[in-house]
Amino acid sequence: MRTAPRVALVTGASSGIGRAAALALVGAGFAVVGTSVRRS
């Protein structure tokens, strides 16, 4: 029996809570897509 791939989308993944969440999800075996917008 095959299981569905676990994929997560994390917004704000370049720093702070978003980055911590993305790293935790990767550690739990998820494929993570991270997005961020940084305006200068």
* SS3 (DSSP) at 7: strand
Q: How far apart are CA 29 and CA 33, in angstroms?
A: 13
pTM: 0.81
CB 33 within 8 A of CB 10: yes
Instruction: Show the tokens assigned to 14.
Output: 């370049």
> Residue-wise pLDDT tens for the chain (40 aa)?
778 889 999 999 999 999 999 999 999 999 999 999 988 7
Helix residue spans in the chain (DSSP H) = 16-27
Instruction: Show the tokens assigned to 19.
Output: 């980055």
